[in-house]
Amino acid sequence: MLAFHPKPDRPSHVVSSYLQSKGYRIIPVRPDGGVILGENVYQSLREIPKEIAIDIVDVFRKSAEVLPIVEEAVERGAKMVWMQEGVVNQDAAAKARERWAEGCHEPVHQEGAPEVALMQSHGMMGKWNTE
């Protein structure tokens, strides 16, 4: 979870809490480190120990800030990048598709991740703007 926020009312925290409650392990990434939801917070994807596999990088950042995150995700070996609702960066999406072109799945999703749609369908949150 990139740009994870420690405040419980922020979208990244709500989504992370929800995913964790469904059995997913979340690895919070934000510049100030610490511990959130019982998980060590890493300052970047590069700092996450290599023995921790990264399946999905769920990005809660402004569109203009996504390209370096995707480059870091590619470098770190992540399998997929999700950009949350309102986050669109075609250069980052192209970079992900170029890197993961031989995979059998769509490596990058923009404008809303499935956990958000699921949570909205259950009335757990409204829409938000990440810009």
pLDDT of residue 95: 84
Sequence-ordered list of residues with C-beta below 8 angstroms from that of 19, at least 6 positions apart, any chain = 1, 26, 115
CA distances to 6, 25, 39 from 66, in Å = 20, 22, 23
Distance CA 116, CA 15 (A): 7
pLDDT of residue 80: 81
CA distances to 2, 15, 18, 21, 102 from 24, in Å = 15, 11, 9, 7, 26
Q: What class, spelled out in words, does domain 11-121 have in CATH?
A: alpha beta
pLDDT along the chain (131 residues), means of 10: 73 83 87 89 92 87 91 87 83 82 56 55 46 40
